[in-house]
A and B are shown apart, each in its own frame.
Chain A
Amino acid sequence: MSSVDAPKLGGTGGDEKPHVAFWNDPEKRGYLFQALLFVVVGYLVYAAATNAIDNLTKQKIATGFDFWNNTAGFDIGQRLIPYETTSSYGRAFWVGLVNTLLVAGIGIIFATMLGFIIGVARLSKNFLVNKLAALYVEVIRNTPLLLQLLFWYNAVLKALPEVRDSVAMPGGFFLNNRGLFMPEPVFGANFSWVTWTLAAGLMAYFAYGRWARKKQERTGQQSPVLLVGLGLVILLPLLAFFGAGQPLSFNIPDLGRFNIRGGVQIYPEFVALLMGLVIYTAAFIAEVVRAGIQAVSKGQTEAAYALGLRPGPTLDLVVIPQAMRVIIPPLTSQYLNLTKNSSLAVAVGYPDLVQVFMGTVLNQTGQAVEVIAITMAVYLTISLFTSLVMNWYNSRKALVER
């Protein structure tokens, strides 16, 4: 409203409010409609729920969550927590959830790294690098993820040799179409020394970093943070390791009748899913990064150059911190997308939450409503948690007005 109109409109009110019927009072009417909407929506939810339960009972379809503790009776290939065929459906749920979190977590890390590289490459002045990055983004962004997953799965499987012709790599690594087999670390009794030293070293490193930054702000003098950090985080735990008598051995994989026995196995399903998700999401992240960098006005770079900063520090200290403000919110939604897209695992046989819980458990118990409700609640929780973390990070990076 412009200030010219205000006195005219405000002037009619006076001190006494004229008596207005409540249905003519916009404020009260607003409340009434809110309440009505609430009642209607509430009734719809209630009616749907009671009707569903009622009819499920009528049709003799089992309801409730009693199935949670029943014996599952099926097996799961990749499991990070102990699970047997005699374990419960609830246990199978956790196995699936952990597998989902694993692929989503690792996927987010790699997608971010690849996405930043491609995003920066798209802004490169080098013609070839620039065009290759553009080609990558356009091809990957414009084909369905499901097709890409199936492509990677078949590409991974077809490219790898059979078990008998495993590629044996030095250090007890084997590669074949059953996956990558690695020596499994077996921790000795005193290994906790090393862990504790590492934790202490990390803490000392952060403390030193803070101190060094404060010092630089105060005096302008830089400290050898990297060198001290390396010493604290790597050298110190190494010393502890040898001091404790090298409490670490390896369970080396070994070629059995069919498969390779022992060691740690990385399944091709996992690799295919991870590759598919990372490569797909990275294309979107690259665009987010490019947009973010381009949103920082050219004047900022020129000003930094004018102050005598070299291109490297200019990017580090001037462009990226400002670009991050633009990048973080859309980056969050890419993280959420990656997590949700991991449910396509079912197509390549990776036992994630949807495959194990919404696939097998649903089918064995027949309790579609409960199982799908739980699955949706889990994805909602994961997504909300991711958003929470990213919003916190965003608020730290957001422009602080002084």
Chain B
Amino acid sequence: MKKVLMSVAVGAAFVMAAGSASAQTLNQVKSRGVLQCGSNTGLAGFGQPDAQGNWTGLDVDYCRAIAAAIFNDASKVKFVPLSAKDRFTALQSGEVDVLVRNTTWTMSRDTQLGLEFGPVNYYDGQGFMVRKKLKIASAMELSGASVCTQQGTTTELNLADFFRANKLKYEVVAFASSDETIKAYDAGRCDVFTTDASGLYAERLKLTAPDDHIVLPEIISKEPLGAAWRHGDNQWGDIVKWTHYAMVTAEELGVTKANVDEMLKSTNPDVKRLLGTEGKFGEAIGLTNDWAYRIIKLVGNYGESFDRNVGAGSRLKIARGVNALWSKGGLQYAPPIR
């Protein structure tokens, strides 16, 4: 709450100052020497600091990639942990430059909050987790259940829609942070814990006995999770967008962290344009031409980031599914760099 108040107070004061400077995010970031990235307060696989304060996750990698493209240094990111209900205020008021915090792209958020939403770095959907001993196989059996959820999320709305549409009764208990939500569920306050499916797997690891809980098969919503920035700064928007597309393109072309130096010698025109040995695509977005080389060298391509954080190489072991490349039956698709 304090944070919101602060942001508003500071916001009201700075909205004035920031007004004319809204198209200047890149210059601000450059002169500050560090990218301020709004991230989750702690969601395994997406954005979480470890004991030493090193942030890891799919969303974290996205921010690191932006920093790599600008500064040629993936560590020049300051992660600002934001709760679900504070995140938009923080972005609007300029507290962060970009918000990559498993945030669902919806029409109202895109059009009414003064924000722009960019590429989807994770296609998700909302699911339910229950205790195994309840012997429930489907969300349709949940009538009368109490449900723990985090407030200020699309989850809260989807939940209400789902139970209303299916004429099921329920009781909602909403908490401000995800930690309090999962703790209350663990303490038995609720029968059901609901959030995005990826989040369910991540939060399950925090429970006292993760194996006593199952995720129900129903996915009740579309949750395209992506990056957001302030409306009106198109140059900054281009950088955020194309950072993700560069990572996807790199995966598509087989350019990885390990082989990117060799790939500089590649004769494939697509690879040459990506790595900046041909054309001036980097300069067109206000960066250097080796912007994508930096991203891949310092962070890796989309597939590598996925595997490391949420996929087979991580504790979450989430299958690529809809997040596979379009050429492999998924939805990840980047417009061509040309």
B-contacting residues of A (Cβ < 8 Å)?
47-48, 51-52, 54-56, 58-62, 73-77, 85-86, 154, 157-158, 162, 177-178, 256-259, 261, 268-269, 343, 346-349, 351, 354-355, 358-360, 362-366, 368-369, 372
- Residues of the B chain whose Cβ atoms lie less than 8 Å from the Cβ of A360: 85, 151-152, 156, 174
B231 within 8 A of A: yes
Question: When the two chains form the complex, which single residue of B89, B176, B188 contacts A346, counting CB atoms closer than 8 Å?
Answer: B176
New A-B pairs, 5, CB < 8 Å, besides A257-B143, A368-B8: A59-B15, A75-B160, A75-B172, A349-B174, A368-B92
A sample of 8 inter-chain contacts (CB < 8 A) reads: A59-B15, A75-B159, A85-B164, A259-B145, A355-B151, A360-B85, A362-B89, A368-B8
Question: When the two chains form the complex, which single residue of A61, A86, A178, A368 contacts B146, counting CB atoms closer than 8 Å?
Answer: A178
Chain B, 231-245, CB within 8 A of any chain A CB: 231-232
Given contacts A363-B85, A369-B8, whether A268 and B189 have CB atoms under 8 Å apart is: yes
Interface centre among A59, A60, A268, A348 (most CB of B within 10 A): A59
- Residues of the B chain whose Cβ atoms lie less than 8 Å from the Cβ of A51: 15-16, 19
Q: Is the CB of A347 within 8 A of B156?
A: no
Which bucket holds chain B's interface residue count? 35 or more
- Residues of the A chain whose Cβ atoms lie less than 8 Å from the Cβ of B19: 51, 54-55, 58-59
Q: Is the CB of A372 within 8 A of B172?
A: no
One digit per residue, 1 when the CB lies within 8 angstroms of any chain A CB and 0 when it does not, for chain B 6-43 equals 01100111011011001000000000000000000000
- Residues of the B chain whose Cβ atoms lie less than 8 Å from the Cβ of A347: 176, 180
Given contacts A61-B92, A76-B172, whether A48 and B85 have CB atoms under 8 Å apart is: no
Chain B, 193-244, CB within 8 A of any chain A CB: 230-232
Q: Is the CB of B146 within 8 A of A258?
A: yes
B114 within 8 A of A: yes
Question: When the two chains form the complex, which single residue of A55, A257, A259, A366 contacts B88, counting CB atoms closer than 8 Å?
Answer: A366
- Residues of the A chain whose Cβ atoms lie less than 8 Å from the Cβ of B112: 60-62, 365-366
Question: When the two chains form the complex, which single residue of A59, A76, A268, A354 contacts B92, counting CB atoms closer than 8 Å?
Answer: A59
Q: Is the CB of A60 within 8 A of B145?
A: no
Closest B residue, CB atoms, query A47: B16
B191 within 8 A of A: yes
Q: Is the CB of A55 within 8 A of B143?
A: no
Q: Is the CB of B113 within 8 A of A61?
A: yes
- Residues of the A chain whose Cβ atoms lie less than 8 Å from the Cβ of B89: 362, 368
B278 within 8 A of A: no
Question: When the two chains form the complex, which single residue of A48, A258, A372 contacts B13, counting CB atoms closer than 8 Å?
Answer: A48
- Residues of the A chain whose Cβ atoms lie less than 8 Å from the Cβ of B80: none
Rounded to whole Å, the gap between the CB of B20 and the closest CB of chain A is: 9
B161 within 8 A of A: yes
Closest B residue, CB atoms, query A76: B172
Q: Which 5 pairs from chain A and chain B are nearest by CB?
A: A363-B152, A61-B114, A59-B114, A366-B113, A51-B16
- Residues of the A chain whose Cβ atoms lie less than 8 Å from the Cβ of B187: 154, 157-158, 177
- Residues of the A chain whose Cβ atoms lie less than 8 Å from the Cβ of B156: 74-75, 360
Q: Is the CB of B189 within 8 A of A372?
A: no
- Residues of the A chain whose Cβ atoms lie less than 8 Å from the Cβ of B171: 77, 178, 259
Q: Is the CB of B1 within 8 A of A343?
A: yes
Measured in the bound complex, the distance between the Cα atoms of B323 and A260 in whole Å is: 41
- Residues of the A chain whose Cβ atoms lie less than 8 Å from the Cβ of B13: 48
- Residues of the B chain whose Cβ atoms lie less than 8 Å from the Cβ of A77: 146, 171-174
- Residues of the B chain whose Cβ atoms lie less than 8 Å from the Cβ of A61: 92, 112-114
B144 within 8 A of A: yes
B5 within 8 A of A: yes
Q: Is the CB of B172 within 8 A of A52?
A: no
